[in-house]
Structures are given as C-alpha cells and as structure tokens.
Amino acid sequence: MTETATTPGHDVADLGLAAEGVRRIEWAEREMPVLRLIRERFERDRPLDGIRIGACLHVTTETANLMRTLKAGGADVVLAASNPLSTKDDVAAALVREYGIDVYARRGEDRDTYYRHLNAVADRHPNITMDDGCDLVSLLHSERPGQIGEVMAGTEETTTGVIRLKAMAADGALGFPVVAVNEAQTKHLFDNRYGTGQSTLDGILRATNILIAGRRVVVAGYGWVGRGIAARMSGHGAHVAVVEVDPVRALEALMDGFVVMTHTDAARWGDLFVTATGNLNVFRREHFEAMRDGAIMANSGHFDAELDLTALRALAEGHVRDVRENVQEFDIGGKRLNLIAEGRLVNLGAAEGHPAAVMDMSFANQALSAEYVAAHHAELEPKVYVVPEAIDAEVARLKLAALGIELEPMTAEQAAYVTSWQHGT
C-alpha cells in the first residue's frame, strides 16, 4: 500500500489501468441519469460535507459512479470490495488516480487480504457505513466495537445483508441504525429481478458459451433473484425447473409456468443449476452424486455457500482442473461436474454485474439514503429501517423522467373517489 500527499490511500492491482477504467466508468454513467441528477444537486447542496463514508461494495463501474456522487456531496469516501472476485481492477485504479477516492481492492484477493482491506476502511473511522452483505458492519461489531459510537448510521444493499442485520437487531446486538436499501421497491423489484436475471445469464454465457435453448435449467430459490433468472432462462428457450422451500413461492413458480420439483429430482433432471436462495448447502454431496456427466453449476446468491464446495472437492479427490476461464471441472469418478466462478456470484465473477441502468436506481437509493441518515440520524434508533417511501417514489419519478415517460395524473374526481368510503355498488 502506498500513501502519499497526492495519491489517495490504496491497495489496487495496477494504477496503470486507470485510463481504461475511466472510459468504462463514463460509459456506465450514460446509463445512470438518476444518479447523475443527484450528483449535480449534491455538488450544489453538499449534504454530506465533513462525513466519512466507509463502503464495502462490489468495485464495478456503477459503484464508481456512486462513489463520485458521494464525494460530490462533500463526503470523504473510502472503498473496499464486498467480494474477492467482483473487483474490476481498472475501475479500482481509476477511482484512485482520476477521482481521488481511497480504494482497497484487488480482483482475486485472498481471505486475509479481503479482511485487511476491510480493516483499512475501518481505520478511517467511518460515520456512515455502506455495505453489500453486512461484512463491514459485522467487522465493526465483532472486532472493533470501540468504533460503533462513531457511526451515525449504515446502509445495506442486499437481501443477505438485511437478513443478517435483522438478526443482529433482534438479538439487541446492532449498535447503530441501518437503512435497508434492498427493501426499496425501486431496488429489489428491478435490481434483484431484472438486473440479476440478465447478468446471471450473461455470466454463465461468458464463462461457458453454451446454448441455453433446449437446456434443462434448475433454479434454486424463487425469490426476486430466482424469478428474474427463471424468466430470462425461459426466454432463451430453456426448460426451467424451480426448487423452493416456501410453499407460496413454489406455487407462484408453478403458475408462472415452471416445473417445481425437489432438489433430489432436480439433481437427476437438470443440465445447468443456478442457486439464488441466500441459504447454504442447497446442493450437496447426494445431489452432486446424482447429477449427469457434464452438469454445470453456478451461484447467484450473495455468499459462496449455496453449493457445498467442501463436499464437491472431497468427491473429486484432487481431480480438479481449469477447463476455461472461470470454469473448473471436478471429476467425481468418471463424471465431470463444472463449476463457474468458484461458486461465487456468477454475474459479478464471470460478467460485469448488473447493467448500469438498473444500478442507477439501486445506487440512487444508496445516495439518497446516505443524505437521509446524515440529516436524520439523531432521530433513529439502532434498528433496521426501510428506505423512506418518499425516496422510493423520487427515484422512480426521476427514472421515468430521464426515460422521457410522463405519468398520468388522477383527475380531482378520481382522487376524491379513491380516498372516500361513501361510494358503494
């Protein structure tokens, strides 16, 4: 790591990649009109003046545009990766060299480096934490509790992080308020469903170049992410089966036109398996043993725990080889099973994550939530808050306006009708 008076603090792979990073960050920005409008307002109003923001997010072109927005608002920003495989090294370099933001992230960093980077963020004593998966909040609570009092609030990007935070709040262990950005409708309805749906397919295709049409695809989990993946796979001509543990979600999958089956049946049936449950060991030893030769597995849930990789490695007894970039083949006794992106988020590990047009809304929620907690933290308790409805509506309104789409206003008569109780049959 180098720290000089002029270069921000950093540990990135190669600062020489900055020019390419800038080109790609600017390309993403064209698809992020909402964030751009917010940045222009932040430049004028400086709502984050004097606030230190510690972010643990995927280091992508879209995140770079969020970091620029926060800095324009006056914040002092430091960023580490929220996943060792999702870092785009050119983006990390550009943020340091061109945008003056401290970045600690290298693609492929090992576990020790990952946590050293997270600690580098914590060393800056953030007043607002911005997490994707709750790792920074967890670090502060488990290893650096003395700093909890310095944090006015946090924000959390993803479903898995929100689940962890709610568990902490229920145990009385959460030390400061956190806004669950994932719970905003303009986040999960679009990012989790359309963003992950498309980019998961993209990651699988880039890694394997397989034909989806006619393939038997098993989607584990029919939440926002699973729905998006199943819809896009189906759109490309796959036969899609869904495995679920929740009866309502399973019924929904059935009525959306998919086959619903157990994990055991699906293991025998499928050619391509994609997990999106936020749970662990969804496919495990007995399922690997039942899969066909040549089966391909990928995960789009937050952690690399959805496929039981320990069991997979044990079954292969060392017969593991790289067969393509981002694809490992496990020979489990005459049968070859393929794993994409080491079982980590396939859309970020083997592709570029969500398209910028979707992250525009997710990160607009992040920026406006940071502004909100900076102004209101004194009124908040140490619990998990949903994004205020006004922010959600503002993000949708700005997105529609940016797309040149006008909303139909209600007539005065209609507005009175939908709020009255006197009208009957």
Ligand X SMILES: NC(=O)c1ccc[n+]([C@@H]2O[C@H](COP(=O)([O-])OP(=O)(O)OC[C@H]3O[C@@H](n4cnc5c(N)ncnc54)[C@H](O)[C@@H]3O)[C@@H](O)[C@H]2O)c1
Supply the DSSP string of 176-219, one letter for each residue: S-EEEGGGSHHHIIIIIIIIHHHHHHHHHHHHH----TT-EEEE
**Minimum distance from CB of 275 to ligand X (Å)?**
8
Measured from the CB atom, the residue of 99 and 222 that comes closer to ligand X is: 222
Binding site for ligand X (CB under 6 A): 158-160, 188, 192, 196, 220-226, 243-246, 249, 276-279, 282, 300-302, 345, 347
**Minimum distance from CB of 171 to ligand X (Å)?**
20
Measured from the CB atom, the residue of 155 and 347 that comes closer to ligand X is: 347
CA distance 184 to 390: 10
Tell me 214's DSSP state.
Answer: T
Is the Cβ–Cβ distance between 329 and 337 less than 8 Å? Answer: yes
Measured from the CB atom, the residue of 128 and 276 that comes closer to ligand X is: 276
**Minimum distance from CB of 412 to ligand X (Å)?**
39
CA distance 120 to 64: 18
Measured from the CB atom, the residue of 120 and 267 that comes closer to ligand X is: 267
Measured from the CB atom, the residue of 21 and 133 that comes closer to ligand X is: 133
**Minimum distance from CB of 268 to ligand X (Å)?**
16
Can you read off the two tokens belonging to residue 349?
Answer: 């590990």
Inter-CA distances, 114 with 108, 110, 341, Å: 9, 6, 17
Q: Where are the alpha helices (DSSP H) in 354-411?
A: 356-376, 389-402
Can you read off the two tokens belonging to residue 2?
Answer: 């180098």
**Minimum distance from CB of 191 to ligand X (Å)?**
6
Residue nearest to ligand X (CB): 223
**Minimum distance from CB of 123 to ligand X (Å)?**
27
Q: What is the dihedral of CA 258, 260, 263, 269, to 10 degrees?
A: -60
Measured from the CB atom, the residue of 63 and 196 that comes closer to ligand X is: 196
Measured from the CB atom, the residue of 103 and 243 that comes closer to ligand X is: 243
CA angle 239, 241, 243 (to 5 degrees): 165
Q: Where are the alpha helices (DSSP H) in 263-318?
A: 263-269, 285-290, 309-316
Please tell me the number of Cα atoms within 13 Å of 52 on its side-chain side.
Answer: 13
CA distance 391 to 180: 12
Tell me 291's DSSP state.
Answer: S
**Minimum distance from CB of 353 to ligand X (Å)?**
6
Is the Cβ–Cβ distance between 219 and 361 less than 8 Å? Answer: no
**Minimum distance from CB of 301 to ligand X (Å)?**
4
**Minimum distance from CB of 27 to ligand X (Å)?**
19
Measured from the CB atom, the residue of 70 and 163 that comes closer to ligand X is: 163
Can you read off the two tokens belonging to residue 323?
Answer: 């067969």
In degrees and rounded to multiples of 5, residue 55 shows phi and psi of: -115, 140
Supply the DSSP string of 274-288, one letter for each residue: EE-SS-S-SB-HHHH
CA distance 337 to 188: 32
Measured from the CB atom, the residue of 243 and 396 that comes closer to ligand X is: 243
